[in-house]
A and B are shown apart, each in its own frame.
Chain A
């Protein structure tokens, strides 16, 4: 069995140190601009912070992946080019890319660099993955959260690169890198600007009974009674009316988080090389608890023991968790 790499989120320099301390084999992070898909206010790294963070991680044997996983619009490619140059200079261990142009640029201009294919590239078949491996020398693919464990196992036999799967965190439903819902409402693009439901456009209104209404600009996303748990203010986690439904319903997905703690042994058996924890936008408290729990779980499995799984449900969206598509195709 391959000893899987635990790939952990680092939204800030302090978050990175927390993840390293909690047992991350690898951390992933981004600069404070549109070159990464968590371009949120107050988050991410200045070049100086990144340089120090890479040094800190490397001193402790932890790898650093630089997320360059958005799509540069024509005329703005220099921002991605500069970010790649900075990353190469600082010695990041790999670049996580989604755009074909960015992948090609790094493959040619930084020939020694290791490329990981972001989930934003939406490579969900052996042919798609093989294309990126063949053309740009991609060494690892981050799989969309839409495949069952047997499907992942079959896929592993058909591709020449490593596999990274999400094991915990936000349970995105839309094919990533193909969603313009945020742009439709706010004018900012998930693909080009690295934002999903930008905070500046999110509004929480409370009435006297404690009901909370979530709006993205002028669009009502959801309403929560005072005792109801809430989710992220994204369009795909909202409630809407449809002709065949009496009440508002989660047309796409309930607020729920992915938690594959119980599937770790079967994922490892399926040939997964790396486990990814989502949540660069989450706190150090989250990183400490989730990374720590999965560190122990992975070590237990490697030692041939049944993993003792900490209860992580308190950190999940809507305080609900799912094994999503990994467990059953019925999810589709």
Chain B
């Protein structure tokens, strides 16, 4: 990323070696597999990202106990769970209800509409976010289902559980 200010909120803390809770720690290798799988299953996604492939996106699914750091760089793919309250250095932040974000990923929900209604929050590198949104929108089929499918029936159950957890975490969310 050139000529784009880096949003380093809490970057210093992220490097201090604060130990994440166990479940987060267990999540990391799974997330690493997930992002590799998505990248190989949908090559057009990374292609369409073009110059913003090096951007670091902090995804904040409100209601979940962690945030996600995504760097869709084909040479150094990164998807990592991060403890809440200690955001790592990132270029752009995307925050919204988990279910909304999941639907955005699957192009089942309109990002502009969520943004107009203020249910989706964006800060930092707007161009990177817009590019990511447009690239995701060009993916047909369900990324979430692909990911769940990686883990067979337990994976699909986990996706369902995540959705349930998200609903519990955000009482206003409608199923």
Q: Give yes or no for direct A-B contact (beta carbon below 8 Å).
A: yes
Say whether B126 faces chain A, with CB atoms less than 8 Å apart: yes
Contact with A along B93-134 (1 / 0, CB 8 A): 000000000011001111111011110011101110111111
Do B131 and A41 touch across chains, with their CB atoms under 8 A apart?
A: yes
Q: Do the beta carbons of A283 and B111 come within 8 Å of each other?
A: yes
Tell yes or no: B86 within 8 A of A by CB. Answer: no
* Complex alpha-carbon distance, A227 and B113, angstroms: 15
* B64 interface residue per 8 A CB criterion: no
Cβ < 8 Å to B, chain A residues 223-254: 224, 226-232
Cβ contacts under 8 Å, B110 to chain A:
282-283, 285-286, 289, 315
Determine which of B108, B111, B118, B126 lies in contact with A229 in the assembled complex, contact meaning CB atoms within 8 Å. Answer: B118
Chain A interface: which of B19-27, B135-143, B157-165, B167-175?
B135-143
* Chain B nearest Cβ from A277, distance in angstroms: 13
Tell me if A283 and B137 are in contact (CB < 8 A). Answer: yes
Q: How far, in whole Å, are A40 and B130 apart by their CA atoms in the complex?
A: 8
Which residue of chain B is the closest to A257 with respect to CB atoms?
B116
Residues of A within 8 A of B140 (CB): 14, 17
Cα distance A204–B126 in the bound complex, in angstroms: 8
A314 at the interface (CB under 8 A from B): yes
Residues of B within 8 A of A42 (CB): 48-50, 52, 130-135, 138
Given A230-B118, A255-B116: A203 and B126 interface contact (C-beta under 8 Å): yes
Please pick, from A17, A202, A212, A282, the residue contacting B126 in the complex, using a CB distance under 8 A. A202
Q: Is the interface of B mostly helix, strand, loop or mixed?
A: helix
A41 in complex: contacting residue of B112, B118, B127, CB < 8 Å:
B127
- Whether B116 lies near A13 (C-beta < 8 A) is no
Please measure, in the bound complex, the distance between the C-alpha atom of A314 and the C-alpha atom of B117, giving whole angstroms. Answer: 8
Whether A200 is near chain B, meaning CB under 8 Å from some CB there, is: yes
When A202-B126, A203-B126 are in contact, do A284 and B118 touch as well, CB less than 8 Å?
no
The answer to whether B137 touches A11 (Cβ under 8 A) is: yes
Residues on B with beta carbons closer than 8 Å to the beta carbon of A198: 127
Mark interface residues in A1-30 (1 if CB within 8 Å of B CB, else 0). Answer: 000000000011111010000000000000
**Chain B contacts for A317, CB-based, 8 A:** 112, 116
Does the CB pair B117–A285 fall under 8 Å? Answer: no
> Is A284 within 8 A of B107, CB to CB?
yes
Contacting residues of chain A (272-327) with chain B, CB-CB under 8 angstroms: 281-286, 289, 314-319
Give Cα distance in the complex from A218 to B112, angstroms. Answer: 23
Q: CB of A206 within 8 A of chain B?
A: yes
User: Contacting A228 at CB < 8 Å: which of B4, B118, B130, B133?
Assistant: B118
Whether B137 pairs with A231 at a CB distance below 8 angstroms is: no
Inter-chain contacts of B125 with A (CB < 8 A): 200
Binary interface profile of A, 208-227, with partner B (CB < 8 Å = 1, else 0)? Answer: 00001000000000001011
Q: How far is B119's CA from A227's CA once the two chains are assembled, in angstroms?
A: 10
Nearest to A16 among chain B residues (CB) is B138
A-side contacts of B4, CB under 8 Å: 200
Q: Does A205 contact B (CB under 8 A)?
A: yes
Question: Closest approach, in angstroms, between the C-beta of B16 and any C-beta of chain A?
Answer: 24
Task: Determine whether the beta carbon of B113 is less than 8 Å from that of A315.
Answer: yes
- CA–CA, A329 to B107, complex, Å? 38
Q: Give the docked Cα–Cα distance between A115 and B37 (Å).
A: 44
B32-52 residues with Cβ-Cβ distance < 8 A to A are 48-52
Decide if A41 touches B107 in the complex (CB within 8 Å): no
Q: List chain B residues, Cβ under 8 A from A227.
A: 118
Are the C-beta atoms of A40 and B126 separated by less than 8 Å?
A: no
From A43, A226, A230, A316, contact of B115 by CB (8 A):
A230
- Establish whether residues B134 and A200, one from each chain, have CB atoms under 8 Å apart when the complex forms: no
Contacts from B to A (Cβ < 8 Å)? 4, 48-52, 103-104, 107-113, 115-118, 121-123, 125-127, 129-135, 137-140
* Contacts A227-B118, A283-B133, A286-B110 supplied; 14 other A-B pairs, CB < 8 Å: A17-B140, A41-B127, A41-B131, A42-B131, A42-B133, A198-B127, A200-B127, A204-B126, A224-B118, A228-B118, A282-B110, A289-B110, A314-B113, A318-B116
Subset of 30 A-B contacts with CB under 8 Å: A12-B134, A12-B137, A12-B138, A13-B138, A14-B137, A14-B140, A41-B51, A41-B131, A42-B50, A42-B130, A199-B126, A199-B127, A202-B126, A204-B121, A204-B123, A206-B121, A224-B118, A226-B118, A228-B118, A229-B116, A229-B118, A255-B116, A281-B134, A282-B112, A283-B104, A283-B107, A286-B113, A315-B113, A316-B116, A319-B116
